[in-house]
Amino acid sequence: MDRKYKQRGYMSDDRPQQSERPKPAERPDGPRTHKLPPVHQVFRCSLCGSVVPKLETITFTTQCPKCKSDLHSCKNCIHFDTSARNECRQPIQERIKKKDMANNCTFYQPRQTVERETTTSSERITDARSAFDKLFKK
């Protein structure tokens, strides 16, 4: 029977079988893991994007320290979804019209995001000059 393709190894018996192939050597210390940067959870204001400290103390009157917007609002809630009914994934009875104003919703849970730690707490830079010097290793 004539072969359809002429290249070497196609339907031939000279290529090594699965059991004949050498197995890769195992590392004595186990498999290598990826070096991923550390991550942390933060709560950011939906209006200005600044990080809000002390997440567990958000009440109906809590405001953003930077822009003074209300933090107990729909836009800062984990259940806020523009494609859901009444723009909330929870079964609320009536729609809240102003999503960025404070409300007394009982389903409110602060929306936390997972972000990479880019600097350690000891390396926090306070002024622009030291940031420039650190960037160019002066």
pLDDT for 78-114, tens place per residue? 999 889 888 889 988 888 888 888 888 888 888 888 8
pLDDT for 123-135, tens place per residue? 666 788 888 887 8
Domain limits of the chain?
38-115
Burial profile 101-129: b = 16 or more Cβ within 10 angstroms, e = fewer: ebbebeebebeeeeeeeeeeeeeeeeeee
